[in-house]
Each structure stands twice: as C-alpha cells, then as structure tokens.
Structure 1
Amino acid sequence: MPDVALTPQELTARRTVATECAFNAATDLGLKVEETRVLHDVFSLVVHLHPSPVVARIPLVLVPGLTPEALRLKQQRELDVADWLARESVPVTRPSGLVPLEPVREDDFSMTFWELVDVADEHSPYAGGDYELCAALHAALAAYPGLLPFLSPFNEGLPPMMEALEGSHLLSDEDLDRAHAEWQALRPVLASATAFRERFPEADVQPIQGDAPSHNVIRSRTGWVFGDFEDICLGPVEWDLAGHGPEAVAAYDAAAGPLGMRTIDPELQRVMDAARNLQMVGCLSLVPQLPMLEQGLAPMVQAWRESPSLVL
C-alpha cells in the first residue's frame, strides 16, 4: 500500500475537478445549472446543481483496483433499490426524475443524480437516528425483488483492501498477522449465501442496506430519510447492526417483533461484529485517498487490538 497521502492541495484539486465534471454532465443531460454548491465531501462528493432541485453524488474514495464497470454496477444497484423503496413509500433520498435512472461517467468520475432533500437545520452528518429505524427499513427491504450479491462489502470490498494493507506503516506485523488470521477464519463462512447457511442454518438472508443504516440518514424537515445504498446486498440483518453494541440490538429487537421481523441472533451478531471490525482495519488502506480517515479509524482499530481474537 502506498503510504503517500494526498496533500490538502491535491484534495482541493480533486474536489474542483469532480465538481466541474458534475456541472458538465448535468448540463449535457439538459439540467439548468447556474452554480455548483458542495454539500458534503468525505468518501463521496455531493454537489447541489443550483437552481435545479438535483444533487450529484460522486464517489471519490474507492477500494483498490475497483474497475469503472464494477463501480457502474454498484451505482446502478443503488439507484434501482432507492427508486423501488421510494415507490414503496419508504422515506429515502430519491433518484432524480429529471435524468435517466443510470450512472453517468464524465472523464474519470462516475456519478449519480438525486433529488435535493430539504434538510432540517438540526441535521448533522453521521449523527445517526434511532435503531428502530433499521428494523423498519429491513421490513421494507425484505420484499425487494432485484438481484443482489451476498455481503458485497465483505466479499467484494474487503479482499483488495486486505491485500493493500501489506507494507502499511499504520499496522504492526502483529496487527497484520491477526488481521489475516481472522480473514482466513471468516472468509469460508461468509464467502457465499450457501456457505453462510451451512454455518448458520437457522439464520435468514435478505436485502440489507449494507453500511450502518442508522447512521446513513438525513434529518429532513419532514422526518428521517434513508440515504447511501451503495453497499446494498443480501445478508443477515445483523450486518447492519455490526459494531453498534447491545443497546442498539435491544432497540432493534423491541421494534422487530411488531413488524414481523426476527430478533437478533447473539452468536451471529458476534461473527458480524468481527467481520465489520476487520472491514474497519481494511479501511486503513484508503487513508492515502482520505488522510482524515486515519484519525477517524484510530479508536476502532485500537478497540480491535484490545478485543479477544476471533474464535469460530
């Protein structure tokens, strides 16, 4: 993994070029754009194409080796599921109806277009909502008819990140040995829905949001709105609660029963927590693309170091 992180000047240049690409793509699609307003810039750049009620979402931080076609397929899955949820009256960020329901590539950037959400004054990115929201989302997603990969954040995103960790100054040799040992233990169990069911025959698999849905929400002026379905996949609902602790599980369980959803399996939650922890370690490979991530991940990585080693 190259340890040379992007400089502040390079990060600014990346945002500027991506914003210009969003402007060009939007105007080519016939949208009226007089001004671009950056709303968010972390893993993805979110740009309001003022005065059109449309925002462009442009992934900037990508797993190593992700091809343009793989990214396009991932973005198309996100558009399709968000569009379906919106038509099912689930509160989600809606794909813009002013452009075709498909990703658009402009130079080196692939982007999707969404309706502008009327964000409440008290909204705070990543602040999170009630965990009961996860149960309601899972209840809605259970009926989604589209084809989805199994645990794609683990099976598609993590392998290249694990490989890219070699030589990182952010992990010791002991850290790397443990990470690879846990990877070798988890991968046979989580590699496919078939392998997963052999290990957990009582657990069901369904469409899940794939990336902490309780924290990928927007507080709008009319209530909570779900966003960020880029990791939509099949899996156990425990994956969406991984790493959030017993209080989150208790809140989820309290809401699941009345919705006809099953409650959380403690042993399966333990395995999903371990898989999510390993994913967080793997995300250290993204630090060169997003230097602020090193500080953000530090508490999670340290908690992983201090936790018992995984035993399956």
Structure 2
Amino acid sequence: MDASELRRAVEAGRATASALGLQVDDVVVINNSDRIALRLVPCEVLARVAPSAHRADSQFEVEVARRLSEVDGPVAELEPRVEPRVYLRDGFAISLWTYYEPVGSEIAPAHYAGALVRHHAALRQVDLGAPHFTDRVAGALREVGDREQTPALLGPDRELLTKTLSSLSTTISSREAGEQLLHGEPHPGNLLKTRRGPLFVDLATCCRGPIEFDLAHAPEEVGEHYPGADHDLIHQCRILMWALFTTWRWRRDDQLPNGHYWRVEGLNQVRAALDRYGLDWA
C-alpha cells in the first residue's frame, strides 16, 4: 500500500480493535503489500487489513482458520476475545488473529515436513469448498494474455510464461495423483516458528490439488522428509509455482516489495528450472 492508504489501513485496524474492547496503545506494521499485517500492542493481536475489494478472500481465510482450529490443525488462531469474522471499516476488511512472538530463526526441514504432514491431515478432515490449483493457473493465463494487465511483459517472456503455465498444468493434472485440500502457498514466509511449534498462516490461498503442489513451495530439502512424496511431481509443481509467482509480479497493480527484482528473478528461476528438468520451450 502507498503511504496514504497505509495510514488509513493502520487507523482502520487500530479503531476496529479498540471498538471491540481491545487495548491498543501502539501499532507496528509487520508486513506491507496488497494487504498489511499489524501488531497491536499491548493487547497482542495481529490485525490483517485488506482493501474491502478483497473481503471475500478475508472471509474465506477466517473460515478456513476456524475449521482447522476445530480439528487442531497447526495454524495461527483467530483472536479468541472477539467474534471470529471479518470487520469492515473505512473501505477495509479487517480480521483479528492471535499474535505469536517469533522463536528462533529457520525451521529444520524435518520439522517443516512434519508440520505439513499434520496440516494436510487436518485439511482432510475439513469439508470446505475451495478452487482447484488449475483455477489459479487459468487466472494467471488470463493475466499473461491481457496486455493491459501485464503491459511491461515482453513478447518472449510472455510466451515463456504462457507455455509453462498451460503445459505444466495439463501435465500435472494428467498424472492422476491423489488430490486433497491444500494450504496453497506454504512457503517459509507462511510458516511461523512459535512456542507452540510451527504454525501456518495466510490461509486464503487454500486450494485443491496434489500434496506435491504444496511441497513445491517449501525448501527443496523438505520434500525428502515427507512420506510418500513424488519427487518428480514436486519438481514439475515447482516450475509451475515459479511461473505463477512470476506472472503475479508482472501485474500492473502488483504491490510486492522489490517487485522489479522479482520480475526478473522469477523469469530466471523459471528458465533454470525448465533447464534442470530438460524442457526447452523458451
């Protein structure tokens, strides 16, 4: 968010929590992208604030978290002192979560894999409608094909992403691997190391697909510790993951910090991954 929108979003998060009886003397911005994460002090609440256009995504995330908490999934919990829902204020959708103080740094690959195993087991207990991973690919293909949405994407790079997205989506789907509800983007930034153990956050990306699609977002060593994982399928999913990530970076309204760097780096990662897999349509 730009400086003006960020100020309004911070105030919306602070005012929402205060109106619900939570004490807010200070606000710390933890993350600023298309939506922001705020630490509210001293009530120790994490407020996730998004433009109201993303209200449906916020509501979906709250519902996923609520259901996973009921089956003891390793996820960050909603703030228990208020009603578990999305609040609207000043054009923003606000959800309130428990704040977890980070403990240590990296999570060991075996522990990361163990958290994913438990997360997937919890997701199998949840009856929840969610898009298929191919729906996400279809959305990315629409972005790549729309020059108004991705105006800076050059012809050869546009062709590379189009071919990668469409070909790998078809290839992965045709493998008929077992599918289930997934986190969708369980990369290291979405797994917190807390005193309760590893906890997943950012649940709005929940989708259906093979567990290898989730493993492709984790560090490569994690897949080696996940029982029964198909390592060839992980590699295919990792290429697809980089193609999806890169497509979002080329959107005209993308707000990821260091977006220009990730545009170039994403294309480099796609090409490198295709080369390692022996594919060449660039």
TM-score category, normalised to shorter length: 0.7 to 0.9
Aligned-residue CA RMSD in angstroms?
A: 3.1
- State the AA in 2 paired with 1:282: T
Query: Which aligned pairs between 1:239-250 and structure 2 lie closer than 5 A?
Result: 239-242=213-216, 247-250=221-224
| Cα pair 1:205 1:237 within 8 Å, conserved | yes
Consecutive unaligned residues of structure 1, counting only runs of 5 or more, are: 1-9, 61-66, 191-195, 257-262
Distance in 2 separating the partners of 1:159 and 1:238: 21
Query: Which aligned pairs between 1:270-285 and structure 2 lie closer than 5 A?
Result: 270-285=235-250
Distance in 1 separating the partners of 2:48 and 2:120: 24
Higher relative contact order by CA 8 Å / sep ≥ 6: 1 or 2? Answer: 1
Q: Name whichever of 110-119 and 23-32 sits farther off.
A: 23-32
Output the TM-score relative to the length of structure 2: 0.81
1:240 Cα deviation after fit: 0.6
| Cα pair 1:213 1:226 within 8 Å, conserved | no
SS of 1:251's partner is coil
CA deviation digits over 1:248-292, x for unaligned, max 9? Answer: 32122xxx2xxxxxx223443343223212102212224752351
1:86 Cα deviation after fit: 2.2
Query: Counterpart of 1:109?
Result: 92
SS of 1:48's partner is strand
Distance in 2 separating the partners of 1:19 and 1:142: 36
Query: Which aligned pairs between 1:223-262 and structure 2 lie closer than 5 A?
Result: 223-242=197-216, 247-252=221-226, 256=227
Does residue 117 of structure 2 align to residue 135 of structure 1?
yes
Does residue 174 of structure 2 align to residue 209 of structure 1?
no
Does residue 71 of structure 2 align to residue 88 of structure 1?
yes
Distance in 1 separating the partners of 2:178 and 2:89: 40
CA deviation digits over 1:67-86, x for unaligned, max 9? Answer: 82xx3332222212222222
Output the TM-score relative to the length of structure 1: 0.75
Query: Which aligned pairs between 1:93-242 and structure 2 lie closer than 5 A?
Result: 93-120=76-103, 122-123=104-105, 130-151=112-133, 154-155=136-137, 157-163=139-145, 168-169=151-152, 171-186=153-168, 196=173, 199-201=174-176, 203-242=177-216
| Number of residue pairs aligned between Structure 1 and Structure 2 | 274
Overall identity of the aligned pairs, in %: 22
Please identify runs of 4+ aligned residues in structure 1 that moved more than 6 A.
126-129
| Cα pair 1:239 1:272 within 8 Å, conserved | yes
CA deviation digits over 1:17-48, x for unaligned, max 9? Answer: 21011122223334332322223334531112
SS of 1:99's partner is coil
